[in-house]
Amino acid sequence: MDTKGPKKQPDGSPSAVDSNQKVGETKDAAAGPVPETARVQAGPEIEVAAPSSTEVADSRLSGSTWLLRLAAKSIAAAVVGALMLFLIGVAQRTRWITAAGFSVAESEPSGQSDEGQDKRYICPMMCTPPSTQPGKCPVCGMELVEAIGGGSGDGISVTIEASARRLVGIQTAISELGEMTRTIRTIGSIDFDESRLSTIAAYIDGRLEKMFANYVGVRVSEGDDLALIYSPQLYSAQTEFVTSLDGGSIGRFNVAGSDLAAMAHESLRELGMTEEQIELLRTSRKPQSRIRIKSPQGGTVIEKAAVEGDYLKTGQKLYRIADLTSVWMMLDLFPDDAASVRFGQQVEAEIQSRPGEVFTGRIAFIDPTVNEKTRTVRVRVEVLNFDGKLRPGDYATARVTVPAIPADLVYDPALSGKYISPMHPQVIRNQPGTCPLCGMDLVPTKELGYAPAPVPEQRVVTVPRDAVLLTGDNGVIYVETEPGRFEIRRVTVGPISDAKAVIIEGLAAGEVVATAGNFLIDSQMQLAGNPSLMDPSRAPSFSPGPLELPPGDPVLLAGEAGDQFDRAYREYFEIHDALAADRTPPPVVLNALIGVLARLEMMPPVPDDAQRQLAIARRAAERMDGPLETARDAYRRVSHAMLRAAAYARGVRTAQSLTHYYCPQVSGGGGDWMQPSGKPSNPYGGWDALRCGEVVRDMAVEVQAPAPVAQTPSGGASP
């Protein structure tokens, strides 16, 4: 048989194996002759050729080639994408291209060259804060590019056209001045009201003959029969009582009839007979050897401790009955949250077995100790349960609404000016009286920390939570000072709720802030090398315009408190003179100011509102011991706090002469300060802007002179 020629099919055409061999004969020439393929019988008329070793090798080779080509294309696409991002960043830095609709204010005036200025390099992906040295980003590895803004401006804002604003979805809101609350969320469980639990026990020895409440869960009313007990001891006591009514003697004792009857009557009561049962015996004169145990209250049998036929001992428990018209909800709060709640406060809860349905109750007890294992405080809430929907043992998710700003007095419209039971907080009346449940006198809610009117210090500046950008201890807000112009503002953020955030300092009520798209605004500020969330140190931290003071007349302090108050402002004025002369505050004067402020915080005559502001001033004054710029920055906070304190209280001298000044040219929103009177001496600019300032308000108030004292002829004083 000739194996050199090509094999042919029965119809004369070359076989599939020969055809494949010719196509790949160039590749397989070095591999030697191809063996004859084996024919596999696949049916009566079909023959399938088994693959040769050459075909398997070709298949593996082509698969590996495909994977290598795919990997090469992926690497090439990644390199091209990274190169494009880099070129876009370089183009924006060199102003070849700009973001459509965005105009970023430069941090240097128009016409000023970059020579002599510190260059700032930023990551195109904004992974890290700007750097003063070129190189690669330590996070993503991209080359840092020089930050160059476009156009002239103040360096703290970005302008967005209306078309771009709609495209990127920037939204704004107005900051508000009002009360803010926060919600404490916790979990707990439903439990029995322990004041409505009763245990029914045997008063005498005997045999339990009948149980009328013969299963757990049966409801009973007050006075219902619970069990029937046979007792010879009870029969003897009844016989003695009947005998005493007839004037007889008891055993060896022979006493007056009235005393004997009283002793027998008391003996029956101690053996568990009710007054109704004793009166019935007095009328019938027929002693009974069996006694019926009656329920002392209405409720539900939650425990049955005996069965019919048991022999009982005195004090043995028979039943336990619970009145479920009122239940307790036991909550676990963290100690800081427990310090914010108080007796009588309303609590809302959802029960696991009844989702979507809200139950309300009032706090009846706050545990004075902290659990050593869980580090939580137990809080007991009294909840009315007339419909029986609440079952002891069920889980609850509770919400307690408290003021965001802690205060000694809080305003609650449902409790302010009312009277409440000290044992049952659900009992609230408009007039004094007694509690119908426990008989205790109702107490005024003011004694429990509820103010009769809204508390002014609880009115704070709030913004939507989305308006605040936070990173660590830094918080920034973008304020729309003009249509389309968004200015960065460094703020001090207070408590944050689900929807709002308290701004302690840096923002005034009525300003427009960005709530959506503010991250995009921040990225444009960073690309321009301006202050941003990544580098907020150069952002202003005070709202523009003179400081707004709370309304009302200040309290005139007398005696030691008034003298210390005037001394604090005298030390403040000396620090003002030093800063106006471009000198740091003298350490002796600064320490004297801190010491006086600390004493004023502890003096009872000083109003609480003034003490809070003086505490803020003291903490800010402690940061004035440093360079001149640091002292001036802390001095602005001291001035704000002492201006507010002067709106609440005064000494005699500060009441007669005190003026509020303001300079709009001070960076970061302008500067406020106080002087006794005279021409303005700007403590923020020194000699460069010494006379920059305008009178905001004359804060002097009238001081009534003391009543004259008449002299008597003998030289003494008379009124």
What distance in Å separates the CA atoms of residue 89 and residue 527, rounded to the nearest whole number?
9
Q: How far is Cα of residue 443 from the mean position of the Cα atoms in its chain? A: 31
In the predicted structure, residue 52 carries a pLDDT above the cut 70 = no
CATH for 199-321, options being 2.60.40.10, 3.40.50.720, 2.40.50.100, 3.20.20.140: 2.40.50.100
Q: For residues 41 and 283, which has the higher predicted lDDT (pLDDT)?
A: 283
pLDDT surpassing 90 at residue 42: no
Is residue 663 scored above 70 in pLDDT? yes
pLDDT-based confidence at 465, cuts 50/70/90? Answer: very high
Q: For 494-516, what is each residue's pLDDT tens digit?
A: 888 888 998 887 787 888 999 99
pLDDT digits (tens, 9 = 90+) for 213-236: 989 999 999 989 999 999 888 888
Q: Percent of the chain beyond pLDDT 70? A: 79
Phi, then psi, of 279 in degrees rounded to 5: -65, -35
673-705 pLDDT, tens digit per residue, is 999 888 889 999 877 788 888 999 999 887 654
pLDDT at 371: 93
**Highest mean pLDDT: which of 199-208, 359-368, 646-655?**
359-368
Q: What is the DSSP string of 467-514?
A: G-EEETTEEEEEEEEETTEEEEEE-EEEEE-SSEEEEEES--TT-EEE
Q: Scan for tokens 């990173």, then name that residue.
A: 471
pLDDT in tens, 334-375: 999 999 999 999 999 999 889 889 999 999 999 999 999 999
User: At 646, which amino acid appears?
Assistant: A
Mean pLDDT of 398-410: 87
18 contacts: CB under 8 Å, gap ≥ 6: 6, 7
Three-class secondary structure of residue 463 per DSSP? strand
Compute the distance between CA of residue 170 and CA of residue 164 in angstroms, rounded to an integer.
9
Q: How far apart are CA 476 and CA 463, in angstroms?
A: 12
- Architecture of the 158-179+458-538 domain: Beta Barrel (2.40)
Domain ranges of the chain: 158-179+458-538, 199-321, 326-456, 555-698
pLDDT tens per residue across span 529-572: 778 887 777 777 777 778 888 888 899 998 999 999 999 999 99
Using the predicted structure, report yes or no on whether residue 112 has a pLDDT greater than 50. Answer: no
- C-alpha 510/C-alpha 351 separation (Å) is 41
Give the pLDDT of residue 60. 52
The predicted structure's pLDDT at residue 263: 84
Overall fold of domain 326-456: Elongation Factor Tu (Ef-tu); domain 3 (2.40.30)
Residue 652 DSSP SS3: helix
Q: What residues pair up with 482 in beta bridges, in sequence order?
A: 485
Sorted by sequence, the CB contacts under 8 Å of residue 597 that are 6+ apart come out as 568, 614, 615, 617, 618, 621
Is the predicted pLDDT of residue 441 greater than 50, yes or no? yes
pLDDT tens digit sequence for 134-181? 888 888 888 887 765 443 356 788 888 888 888 888 899 999 888 888
* Distance in angstroms (rounded) separating the CA atoms of residues 336 and 167: 44
pLDDT at 47 over 50: no
3-state SS record for 382-410 = EEECCCCCCCCCCEEEEEEEEECCCCCCE
pLDDT at 404: 84
Q: If we measure between CA atoms, which residue out of 648, 656, 640 comes closest to residue 600?
A: 648
Task: Using CA atoms of 97, 99, 103, 109 in order, give the dihedral in degrees to the nearest 10.
Answer: -40
- What is this structure's pTM? 0.59
- List, in order, residues 6 or more apart from 512 with CB less than 8 Å away: 172, 173, 174, 175, 479, 480
* pLDDT for res 84: 67
- Assess contact for 18 and 37: CB atoms under 8 A: no
Q: Find out whether 338 and 379 touch, Cβ atoms under 8 Å.
A: yes
pLDDT (0 to 100) of residue 140 = 84
Q: What is the per-residue pLDDT for 666?
A: 85
Averaged over 66-86, what is the pLDDT?
A: 71
> How would you write 320-388 as a 3-class SS string?
EEECCCEEEEEEEECHHHHCCCCCCCEEEEEECCEEEEEEEEEEEEECCCCCCCCCCEEEEEEEECCCC
The predicted pLDDT at position 30 comes to: 38
Average pLDDT score over the chain: 80
Q: Find all residues with CB under 8 Å of 664, minimum gap 6, and list them.
A: 544, 545, 670, 694
Output the pLDDT for position 645. 93
Provide the pLDDT confidence category of residue 717 given band limits of 50, 70 and 90. Answer: very low
pLDDT surpassing 90 at residue 615: no
Flag whether pLDDT at 421 surpasses 90: yes
More confident residue, 291 or 145: 291
Q: What are phi and psi of 576, to 5 degrees?
A: -60, -45
Predicted confidence band of residue 81 (pLDDT cuts 50, 70, 90): low
Lowest-pLDDT range of 86-95, 313-322, 593-602: 86-95
Residue that wins the pLDDT comparison between 124 and 283: 283
Tokens 């503010």 found at? 518
**CA 365, 368, 372, 374 torsion-angle sign:** positive
Which residue would you say has higher pLDDT here, 35 or 448? 448
Residue 613 or 455, more confident: 613
Q: What pLDDT, on the 0 to 100 scale, is given for residue 398? A: 95
Q: What percent of the chain has pLDDT over 90?
A: 35
